[in-house]
Structure 1
Amino acid sequence: MVSRKGLRWGAAGGGWLVSTENLDLLIVGSGPAGLSAAAHARQAGLSCAVLERSDHLADTVHCYQKRKYVMAEPAQVPLRSPLPFAAGSREEVLDAWGRFVAAQQIRVDYRREVESVERRGDVFHVRTSGGVYHAARVVLAVGTQGNPRRLGVPGEDLPQVSNRLIDPDAHRDEDVVVVGAGDSALEVAIALSERNRVSLIVRSEEIVRAKESLEREVLSRQATGQLTIHFRTTVKRIVPGFVDLQGPEEDLRVAADRVILKIGAEPPRALLERCGVTFASAARDARPRLDRHHQTETPGLYLIGAAAGRDLIKLGINQGYEVVEHVLGREVEPADEAVLKERLPYWSGSVRQRLESLRQTVPLLRQADPEDLREVFLLAQVRDADDGEVIVRQNDYTDSFLVITAGRVAIDMRDDEGVERRVAELGTGDFFGEMGLISGRRRNATATALGPCRLLEIPRKAMIKLLHVSPRVKATLDRVFLLRALQSYVFPELDDASLWPLVEAARQLHLGRDQVVFEEGEIGDAFYLVRHGMVKLSKRSGDRQLVLTYLGAGNVFGETALLERAARTATVTTIFPTDLIVLDKAVFDDFLTQRPALRQQLLEAYKRKTLEGLEIELRPGGGVLDHLIELEAVIGTDVLVIDNHKCVRCGNCVAACEGVHADGQARLSLTGSKLANLLFPNSCMQCENPLCMLDCPPDAIVRRAGGEIQIKDTCIGCGNCAANCPYDNIFMVQPKAGRGFFGRLLAGLGLDRDGGQAAAVKKEVAVKCDLCAGVDGGAACVRSCPTGAAIRLESKGLRRGIEALVAREELG
């Protein structure tokens, strides 16, 4: 009889059978949350063991691609566990944990897959693939990966098939098939397309689940031949060297030295339920029932980490510490408690009590899980406003979401003629800012305090994350977005109660790039609101298709053709992937039948649109807008244009840009798209809906009220913003040493040609055009141009400005 780590070897059948000791604590999973609990338990003198189903620590992090950068977020929450953790590469993080486990002699039993957890009296019996363990308490830290989903086709178990990419650099000149359309699938396809021939298999007719920046990148690589995308295609079978596909029109066979499946994983709910965890409902996204100590409804059984809803490494590590503190009989506040109390100073009690008070005051917040709100309010700020104070101003580019916790706020909107009207008065428990939140565009109204009021201001990034994890919050905001858009643009005289029937009958439609919503001449059968994205309106004019205008998020179209069952007067096509809210004709007719005066107003609007269309059609150069849409210049709010007929190639613009920035780096490059004699240089256009701001871990990218997008000194150089910019207008650079006041002055005038040859700083950071914010006189590139070739055009005057500059004889 041989003993090992509390298990005994059985003569009959072999294998480790039954633990001969009762542990104080048994931890399932050696990820960051589980290792944190083990580290604290070890220091506290508790007998404990960690069960890991794989043969290595932290399987989720281990399965990251080599050299993947691991973030340590949220930055404002302290790390309280003895387990070391700092932002760094995958290899650095795993090495630090491995050395710590060895140094602290933390017991980890590998290849122990848990099958069930059963409480008998005061002892848990944990059955695993290697035997049965006994413990007074059990901590489940199993993560959410579960088992990878399977295709269910022949050949899936061949050695050429895998679920992960270990090292992109290890593969060269291979035929690789990637199956999936989520973020991880697109990341793998992009990484491998540099040195291999990649086919991406997408089951649907377009990519809908991935980040828009990743979608743009793979579509761009498809256009340049770097990879091939097979839409509306599924895998039939896998054979050595090939994959047989079932396409939309015919079956085909593609070469495949390697097949990587990125089709998701089954959640671990079945395992958790076998272990005694209960859930709030049978819904797929239901949360486990836990108390404030992370304890399940089974006393002594705890659930922490990603499976408990905390998918950030640092938060999971802190949970592991907190669980052990509770096991030791100590009352411990969550790690974010002090920070959240500072964020919510005007409410009393614990953070849990303060959040509950807010949930009672604000109906929208009652739709969210309190744990999700903790993450949101880490970034929120309380804001007090005096009577008459402007909280947000129409056309500003601020994008926060505001909740009224006390007082009243007036919402006023000014039309194109400058006439201002009051749209609404909101009170305690109401919110505003959802238009910019959903559409990503500038403020569409001015909000003013009616007497003293208190608000909670939530950054857009934090609110977007809440919408992602809280479907009920998202559904509520979508309904309010449609309601207020109808009031703002179509039915300003109607109150909420009158419009709710339309809101409840609406449906959503997602369309990809360059998809036709409806054709000119079709009989109108629906009315549309652009929720997100952009469309263009065009009509036939002789033998060409003339672009009339483009509409961004928050705009409506298609309503006039419904009035008399008239034919569509224009063709509407998406410019980018676009979400539309659709109201069908039957609903629209029922609504207007009860309101004949509204029907007459819409008819007048129809006449105005017809006249506007005729004006554009008769205007010389009207086809320029089509070229601007093709170049995607319409998404910018401030576009740099250089007239090559006037440009003398002196380079003053670049030198001046270098000179006004202390780091000596230019924010523009004289490369880019061309339209006849006009160059659109690689210089930030200050996009209406900037993709660069979507994934900045330290929130170093901010938008000023005037629209300028700036990168703060807190940039960590991760490169996410540069990768997300589809126009190559963000540059990763090593800042040059400063040249002093006179050096910058000379460069600002285009007179310094040393190019900032002083020693460069080693750290790489992101830089982009910020419109010379804070510099007297405006953009240095324009001021330094001796011939007037360089000009900047704002979005409102873009079309007419280009029509005046372009050499029409050079247009294609």
Structure 2
Amino acid sequence: MSDKFRVVIIGSGPAGMSAAGRAAQLKLKHVLLEKTDHLSDTIYKYQKGKHVMATPSQLVLRSDMDFDAGKREAILGTWDEQTAGHGVNVMYNAEPTKIEGEEGNFTITLKNGDTVQAETIVMAIGTQGNPNLMRCPGGDNKLVQYQLDDPGEYYDEHITVIGSGDAGIENALGLAADAAQNNIVTILNRSAEFARAKKANVKLLMEAGEQGKVMVRNETTPAEVKDGELVLETRDGQETIKCDRIIARMGSAPPRKFVEQCGIEFTSEDREAYPKLSPAFESTKKGIYVIGALAGYPLIKHCMNQGYDVIEFINGNSELKPADEPILEAKFAGLPNSRSVDEWLEFFRSNVTILNDLSPLQMREFMLDSEPQSYRRDDVIFEKSDPGSSLFAIAEGSVAVEINPDDPSITVPIEQGSIFGEVGLISGRRRGATIKAAEDVIVVEISRTAALKLQASVPAAKRRITQISTERQLLQMFGSGLTKEDIAEVVESSEILNVRAGEAIIDEGAEGNDIFVIRVGSMVVEKQIGG
């Protein structure tokens, strides 16, 4: 194909389809490349009859394509009709394998050998084609599948769903929905909470668990897959359950190799890191834009808004503001100083260490779930023994921790860029000390759900939170005026261990020089006396 397109959109999911719809409305010469024979393959592969949510509810939809909560089939039907009605130029069975050239003169090579010429490229390829695989012994067993098309196909089976996100929860609920199917459904969650999932889905799952429709197994992971059985690793040791089928919904990662071959850089070396992007979605390869799940925004409404916006940016509309701008403006309105939304986002990202690795797009989503606040000098942020599991991050100023209940003047400072409140987040215990503003401060309060989601999706943030909490536990334990610089080597070499109930950490009489600090839970000391 020799004609050059003003914009080539790769991937026809909500983001790509919305981008193509906007390009068609603006009469831009475009083509939408889809590797399958149908639109929106990820949603096409949703389980039959799945109810698709339109969250966040407060976010306005900005797209030439309609979208509202409803059944998968109805949504796909609407998009098929509107794509045709808007005159979107779609090329099916067109899978790109290589992108070469520079802005204004890109060549896209397809799997069948054809080429497509483009001035600009919008990548909306998603991540579902690159699922996280089971890596335990037997993970390649025929019992394991990574997709559930129709829950109604399965009867009289023991089915285990692995995954704590929305996909895993919805699969489990779908398999247990019809009592006549007589399935025994178990869902495994490696942590104690469903941090990645929508609150509505978690609520439905908990109700199904209470009703006995789904066995909800928290803090449980697969240890080995056998024919007809699944060995579980639980807090109380290993357990084997009957299993006819495993639905593994453990998330996915960007197709990094292909993306990097296009000249696009990522925010870090972590497998689940996202590409570096400008506020206008442009990657480090000038002329190539990235939107949707590949940009770190998996929600449909976000994706569709990005599709609309990126075409407007490419067409020269530099004044366009994102659809979530009014919501964020309202959040920042009560803070001192006058800054734009982008300036506030960069202020928090650059000043708070646990947020340093977030992209501008991830920062927007993060701040939608968090609360920026300001305090004057000597204001109490929270008091000792208060309930609370939120995490606070200091973007400006410092706070003082009262360490002696009998003398509030004895305090320890926590500086700008750091966090506090991590004890409640990690262990669920009440606030361990009273904390006041040592000077005028600006902080962001991160709900427990948002903090867990941040740690699950940004490995660098999890490492930093772990490092800070470890430093503080060791300093509190050792005392003697030590500083974090004094124990830096100890913290660097420390490990976080998850130990099952009943498992020995130290055996009497064994040699060992390690020191163990309890982060969560409790231990029992046993000693042999006279045999």
Measured against the shorter chain, the TM-score band is 0.7 to 0.9
Distance of 2:38 and 2:447 partners within structure 1: 39
Determine the structure 2 residue equivalent to 1:546. none
Query: Are the equivalent residues in 1 in contact too, given 2:172–2:214 (CA < 8 A)?
Result: no
Matches within 5 A, 1:712-723: none
Query: Are the equivalent residues in 2 in contact too, given 1:30–1:50 (CA < 8 A)?
Result: yes
Give unmatched runs, 5+ long, in structure 2: 196-201, 234-239
Matches within 5 A, 1:309-348: 309-331=296-318, 332-345=320-333, 346-348=336-338
Query: Are the equivalent residues in 2 in contact too, given 1:69–1:90 (CA < 8 A)?
Result: yes
Identity over aligned pairs, percent = 31
Q: Does 1:146 align with 2:129?
A: yes
Q: Does 1:134 align with 2:117?
A: yes
Matches within 5 A, 1:358-369: 358-369=348-359
Q: Does 1:399 align with 2:389?
A: yes
String of CA shifts for 1:384-425, please: whole Å, max 9, x gaps: 33443321111212333323344443212466xx78684512
String of CA shifts for 1:348-378, please: whole Å, max 9, x gaps: 5543333334455444443544432222223
1:317 is displaced (CA, Å) by 1.4
1:56 is displaced (CA, Å) by 2.3
Query: Are the equivalent residues in 2 in contact too, given 1:33–1:319 (CA < 8 A)?
Result: yes
Q: Does 1:437 align with 2:425?
A: yes
Q: Relative to structure 1, is the Cα distance of residues 33 and 395 closer, same or farther in structure 2, using a 3 angstrom cutoff?
A: same
Q: Which residue of 98, 112, 124 maps to 2:106?
A: 124
| Letter in structure 1 aligned against 2:392 | L
Query: Are the equivalent residues in 2 in contact too, given 1:173–1:196 (CA < 8 A)?
Result: yes
1:41 is displaced (CA, Å) by 0.9
Q: Does 1:79 align with 2:67?
A: no
Q: Does 1:98 align with 2:88?
A: no
Q: Relative to structure 1, is the Cα distance of residues 317 and 389 closer, same or farther in structure 2, using a 3 angstrom cutoff?
A: same
Q: Relative to structure 1, is the Cα distance of residues 121 and 223 closer, same or farther in structure 2, using a 3 angstrom cutoff?
A: closer
| Letter in structure 1 aligned against 2:25 | Q
1:247 is displaced (CA, Å) by 11
String of CA shifts for 1:629-665, please: whole Å, max 9, x gaps: xxxxxxxxxxxxxxxxxxxxxxxxxxxxxxxxxxxxx
Give the structure with the larger strand fraction. Answer: 1
Q: State TM-score, norm by structure 2.
A: 0.78
Matches within 5 A, 1:274-285: 274-279=261-266, 283-285=270-272
Distance of 1:448 and 1:52 partners within structure 2: 55
Distance of 2:36 and 2:121 partners within structure 1: 19
Q: How many residues align?
A: 503
1:275 is displaced (CA, Å) by 4.2
Q: Which residue of 133, 148, 157 maps to 1:165?
A: 148
Aligned-residue Cα RMSD (Å) equals 4.5
Distance of 1:401 and 1:247 partners within structure 2: 32
Query: Are the equivalent residues in 1 in contact too, given 2:102–2:286 (CA < 8 A)?
Result: no
Q: Which residue of 353, 358, 378 maps to 2:343?
A: 353
Query: Are the equivalent residues in 1 in contact too, given 2:267–2:273 (CA < 8 A)?
Result: yes
Larger-Rg structure: 1
Determine the structure 1 residue equivalent to 2:378. 388
1:330 is displaced (CA, Å) by 1.4
Q: Relative to structure 1, is the Cα distance of residues 52 and 452 closer, same or farther in structure 2, using a 3 angstrom cutoff?
A: closer
Query: Are the equivalent residues in 2 in contact too, given 1:403–1:431 (CA < 8 A)?
Result: yes
Q: Does 1:295 align with 2:282?
A: yes
Determine the structure 2 residue equivalent to 1:599. none
1:149 is displaced (CA, Å) by 6.9
Distance of 1:222 and 1:333 partners within structure 2: 45
Query: Are the equivalent residues in 1 in contact too, given 2:190–2:221 (CA < 8 A)?
Result: no
Determine the structure 1 residue equivalent to 2:444. 456
Distance of 1:243 and 1:22 partners within structure 2: 55
Query: Are the equivalent residues in 1 in contact too, given 2:208–2:214 (CA < 8 A)?
Result: no
Q: Relative to structure 1, is the Cα distance of residues 133 and 170 closer, same or farther in structure 2, using a 3 angstrom cutoff?
A: same
Q: Relative to structure 1, is the Cα distance of residues 133 and 180 closer, same or farther in structure 2, using a 3 angstrom cutoff?
A: same
Distance of 1:69 and 1:33 partners within structure 2: 19
Query: Are the equivalent residues in 1 in contact too, given 2:146–2:248 (CA < 8 A)?
Result: yes
String of CA shifts for 1:764-812, please: whole Å, max 9, x gaps: xxxxxxxxxxxxxxxxxxxxxxxxxxxxxxxxxxxxxxxxxxxxxxxxx
Distance of 2:414 and 2:149 partners within structure 1: 53
1:32 is displaced (CA, Å) by 0.6
Give unmatched runs, 5+ long, in structure 1: 1-18, 236-241, 540-566, 570-812
Query: Are the equivalent residues in 1 in contact too, given 2:209–2:216 (CA < 8 A)?
Result: no
Query: Are the equivalent residues in 2 in contact too, given 1:376–1:463 (CA < 8 A)?
Result: no
| Letter in structure 1 aligned against 2:4 | N
Distance of 2:378 and 2:391 partners within structure 1: 20
Determine the structure 2 residue equivalent to 1:39. 21
- DSSP-derived class of the 1:474 partner: helix
1:342 is displaced (CA, Å) by 3.6
Q: Relative to structure 1, is the Cα distance of residues 347 and 217 closer, same or farther in structure 2, using a 3 angstrom cutoff?
A: same
Q: Does 1:233 align with 2:199?
A: no
Query: Are the equivalent residues in 2 in contact too, given 1:200–1:230 (CA < 8 A)?
Result: no
| Letter in structure 2 aligned against 1:343 | K
- DSSP-derived class of the 2:522 partner: strand
| Letter in structure 2 aligned against 1:69 | H
Determine the structure 1 residue equivalent to 2:237. none
Query: Are the equivalent residues in 2 in contact too, given 1:118–1:276 (CA < 8 A)?
Result: no
- DSSP-derived class of the 2:305 partner: helix
Q: Relative to structure 1, is the Cα distance of residues 397 and 198 closer, same or farther in structure 2, using a 3 angstrom cutoff?
A: same
Mean CA deviation greater in 514-523 or 312-321: 514-523
Determine the structure 1 residue equivalent to 2:456. 468
Q: Relative to structure 1, is the Cα distance of residues 492 and 222 closer, same or farther in structure 2, using a 3 angstrom cutoff?
A: farther
Distance of 1:264 and 1:402 partners within structure 2: 28
Q: Relative to structure 1, is the Cα distance of residues 56 and 492 closer, same or farther in structure 2, using a 3 angstrom cutoff?
A: farther
Determine the structure 2 residue equivalent to 1:608. none
Mean CA deviation greater in 187-196 or 267-276: 187-196
1:499 is displaced (CA, Å) by 4.1
Determine the structure 2 residue equivalent to 1:111. 93
- DSSP-derived class of the 2:361 partner: helix
Determine the structure 1 residue equivalent to 2:39. 57
1:34 is displaced (CA, Å) by 0.4
1:142 is displaced (CA, Å) by 0.5
Q: State TM-score, norm by structure 1.
A: 0.53
Query: Are the equivalent residues in 1 in contact too, given 2:402–2:433 (CA < 8 A)?
Result: yes
- DSSP-derived class of the 1:294 partner: coil
Q: Does 1:485 align with 2:468?
A: no
Distance of 1:273 and 1:83 partners within structure 2: 31
Q: Relative to structure 1, is the Cα distance of residues 162 and 282 closer, same or farther in structure 2, using a 3 angstrom cutoff?
A: closer
String of CA shifts for 1:418-457, please: whole Å, max 9, x gaps: 7868451234444322222222332111112345444333
Determine the structure 1 residue equivalent to 2:236. none
- DSSP-derived class of the 1:511 partner: coil
Q: Which residue of 28, 31, 38 maps to 2:10?
A: 28
Q: Relative to structure 1, is the Cα distance of residues 112 and 436 closer, same or farther in structure 2, using a 3 angstrom cutoff?
A: same
1:303 is displaced (CA, Å) by 1.5
Determine the structure 1 residue equivalent to 2:364. 374
- DSSP-derived class of the 1:508 partner: coil
Distance of 1:474 and 1:401 partners within structure 2: 13
Q: Relative to structure 1, is the Cα distance of residues 269 and 431 closer, same or farther in structure 2, using a 3 angstrom cutoff?
A: closer
Distance of 2:396 and 2:119 partners within structure 1: 48
Distance of 1:501 and 1:121 partners within structure 2: 47
- DSSP-derived class of the 2:66 partner: coil
Distance of 2:46 and 2:495 partners within structure 1: 38
